[in-house]
């Protein structure tokens, strides 16, 4: 079973503007199902059948009544014998009513078939299907809603509904059950549902609304005037203070191209807006926290540098410098999070500054190394980005410290001046005097793979990652295995001839929790 576009093209041969018209109908027919208290189905004739066979391309159930069909009929094919009312409406190009009997249903089903017209031609049929035993007791509300539905049905039949303007309903869009006002051609209220009266009370309107215009009730009429003028739907919010917000959606009722009334839907969204304000406030607070954490980490980094300048021991100075680099890598994550909303961060915005920091602090004429970044890690949650930034810093520092022998050569250009796609440096490679470290990143949505590859001296023959005593590798092992539930491998690489050359470190981080290990 496919969607509307696939079904309409493959079965009915409908494309272009006619298909777009059907898309708009499916996007805007939920209120119609509520108004008629019944299921709506959209039938498209099968290509070459001359209107004797159809395929169901859309189905919607009402929120104001029980559904007739528990099954989903989208993709089902029917012929004229099974749905004669639909075939009749398509053939005559006018609304038709009748009954059908389905083997799986307990009783007869009443059908009102409405031809869907586009550019003067009938391209589909929209059918209202209900069962009398499931119907509501008739009252003023039911009679009014059915009357409005029939006016929309007439608009479908003459091609003026759905409205030609693009107007996609959002999740906040009011439904008929939220509250409905029926207006006449002068914009006066001729009917107000009980829920609409409640919504008006929220806006401070406590008088009888029937016979009054919105302006008489102390409300703005812009939404109604605009809908009448453009002949299309208009949505607007009305606020009363900081606590009350009501969403209005006006659907004009057209006859002969002129607005003769409207259906005005109302929904109290005060609680939604209150939550939105809380989210915005919380987001701003979280950003400010990240900003302050970043500032505090930078202060600590500066204090450590001051302390380092007073030391005379080279070993102590080196330990201070390593600590400063680790703190700066964490500060980079918080700085990025302070500029972005949510708990995710574009890790590429962290990787390149990290590489630049390592290069500036470790690369020298005596130890020339060129760094390159390849791939895109995408967006990562902060819980992964923070420890992973420290891991990458340690791996880069480890590569710069141990992969390359000291040799006096001229310095190389910094990483931010190098095109990441251009790894090779013919002059340097010819001389064989420039070390290279490549950071590769790949994110498939399930697992992030981080590879740090160098072309240095490689690992000793007896190297064992689990028994390595270096502080940097100990930090890496701890962060990868305990904080981000990842794995790490480390071994010698190979040159183009298959000979051992350099080191390859691979860190794999799962991005989707393993549900089999939970509970």
Among the listed residues 437, 429, 450, the one whose alpha carbon sits nearest the alpha carbon of residue 399: 437
User: What predicted TM-score, i.e. pTM, was given to this entire model?
Assistant: 0.60
Dihedral sign from CA coordinates of 181, 184, 186, 189: negative
Reported as a single tens digit per residue, the pLDDT across 336-351 is 777 765 567 888 888 8
Picking from 276-290, 357-371, 412-426, which range would have the lowest pLDDT averaged per residue? 412-426
Is the pLDDT at 204 greater than 80? The verdict is yes
| 289, 294, 405 from 390: Cα distances, Å | 20, 15, 25
Q: Which CATH superfamily is domain 176-268 in?
A: PAS domain (3.30.450.20)
Q: Scanning the structure block, which residue is given the tokens 């949650």?
A: 381
**Could you check whether 4-158 and 176-268 share the same CATH topology?**
yes
Q: Which two tokens stand for residue 484?
A: 């981000």
DSSP for 129-196 reads: EE-GGGPPPP-HHHHHHHHHHHHHHHHHHHT--S-SS-----TTPPPGGG-EEEEETTSBEEEE-HHH
β-pairing, 447-454 vs 435-443, is antiparallel
Model confidence band, residue 409 (pLDDT cutoffs 50, 70, 90): very low
CB 484 within 8 A of CB 383: yes
> Can you give the pLDDT at residue 422?
39
Picking from 78-87, 247-256, 433-442, which range would have the lowest pLDDT averaged per residue? 433-442
- Name the fold adopted by 343-517: Heat Shock Protein 90 (3.30.565)
Reported as a single tens digit per residue, the pLDDT across 354-408 is 888 777 776 666 667 888 889 988 888 888 888 888 888 888 888 877 777 665 4
Q: What percent of the chain has pLDDT over 90?
A: 36
Q: Scanning the structure block, which residue is given the tokens 């009054």?
A: 212
Is the pLDDT at 253 greater than 90? The verdict is yes
Q: What percent of the chain has pLDDT over 70?
A: 87
Q: 509 in helix, strand or coil?
A: strand
pLDDT (mean) for 405-427:
44
> Can you give the pLDDT at residue 425?
41
Of 344 and 285, more confident: 344
Model confidence band, residue 180 (pLDDT cutoffs 50, 70, 90): very high
Is the pLDDT at 24 greater than 80? The verdict is yes
β-pairing, 180-184 vs 121-130, is unpaired
pLDDT (mean) for 267-284:
79
- Name the fold adopted by 4-158: Beta-Lactamase (3.30.450)
For the chain, what are the domain ranges?
4-158, 176-268, 343-517
Picking from 78-82, 168-172, 368-372, 512-516, which range would have the lowest pLDDT averaged per residue? 512-516
To the nearest whole number, what is the mean pLDDT of the chain?
83
> Can you give the pLDDT at residue 506?
92
> Can you give the pLDDT at residue 410?
43
pLDDT (mean) for 241-249:
86
> Can you give the pLDDT at residue 415?
44
> Can you give the pLDDT at residue 333?
75
Is the pLDDT at 515 greater than 50? The verdict is no
Of 162 and 274, more confident: 162
Is the pLDDT at 62 greater than 90? The verdict is yes
């Amino acid at each position: 079973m496919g969607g509307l576009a696939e079904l309409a093209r493959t079965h009915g041969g409908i494309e272009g503007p006619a298909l777009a018209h059907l898309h708009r109908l499916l996007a805007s027919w939920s209120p119609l199902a509520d108004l008629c208290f019944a299921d709506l189905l959209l039938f498209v004739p099968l290509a070459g059948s001359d209107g004797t066979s159809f395929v169901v391309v859309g189905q919607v159930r009402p929120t104001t009544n029980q559904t007739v069909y528990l099954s989903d009929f989208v993709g089902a094919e029917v012929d004229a014998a099974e749905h004669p009312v639909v075939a009749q409406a398509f053939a005559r190009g006018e609304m038709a009513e009748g009954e059908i009997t389905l083997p799986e249903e307990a009783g007869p089903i009443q059908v009102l078939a409405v031809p869907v017209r586009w550019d003067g031609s009938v391209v589909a049929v929209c059918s209202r299907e209900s069962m009398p035993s499931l119907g509501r007791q008739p009252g003023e509300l039911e009679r009014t809603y059915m009357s409005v539905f029939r006016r929309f049905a007439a608009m479908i039949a003459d091609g003026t509904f759905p409205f030609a303007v693009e107007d996609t309903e959002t999740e906040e869009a009011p439904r008929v059950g939220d509250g409905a006002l029926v207006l006449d051609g002068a914009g006066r209220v001729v009917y107000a549902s009980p829920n609409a009266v409640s919504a008006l009370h929220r806006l401070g309107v406590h008088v009888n609304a029937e016979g009054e215009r919105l302006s008489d009730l102390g409300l703005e009429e812009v939404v109604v005037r605009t809908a009448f003028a453009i002949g299309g739907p208009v949505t607007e919010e009305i606020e009363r203070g900081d606590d009350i917000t009501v969403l209005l959606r006006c659907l004009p009722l057209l006859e002969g191209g002129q607005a003769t009334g409207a259906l005005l839907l109302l929904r109290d969204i005060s609680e939604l807006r209150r939550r939105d304000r809380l989210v915005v406030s919380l987001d701003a607070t979280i950003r400010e926290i990240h900003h302050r954490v970043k500032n505090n980490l930078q202060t600590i980094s500066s204090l450590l540098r001051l302390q380092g300048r007073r030391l005379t021991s080279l070993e102590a100075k080196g330990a201070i410098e390593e600590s400063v680099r680790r703190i700066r890598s964490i500060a980079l994550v918080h700085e990025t999070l302070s500029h972005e909303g949510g708990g995710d961060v574009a890790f590429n915005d962290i990787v390149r500054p990290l590489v630049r920091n390592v290069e500036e602090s470790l690369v020298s004429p005596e130890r020339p190394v060129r760094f390159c970044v390849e791939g895109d890690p995408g967006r990562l949650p902060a819980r992964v980005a923070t420890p992973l930034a420290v891991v990458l810093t340690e791996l880069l520092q480890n590569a710069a410290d141990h992969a390359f022998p000291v040799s006096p050569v001229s310095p190389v250009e910094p990483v931010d001046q190098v095109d990441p796609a251009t790894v090779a440096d013919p002059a340097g490679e010819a001389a064989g005097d420039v070390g290279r470290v490549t950071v590769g990143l790949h994110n498939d949505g399930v697992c992030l793979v981080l590879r740090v590859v160098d072309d240095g001296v490689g690992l000793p023959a007896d190297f064992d990652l689990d028994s390595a005593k270096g502080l940097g590798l100990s930090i890496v092992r701890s962060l990868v295995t305990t904080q981000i539930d990842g794995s790490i491998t480390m071994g010698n690489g190979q040159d183009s001839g298959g000979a051992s050359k350099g080191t390859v470190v691979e860190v794999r981080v799962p991005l989707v929790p393993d549900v089999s290990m939970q509970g």
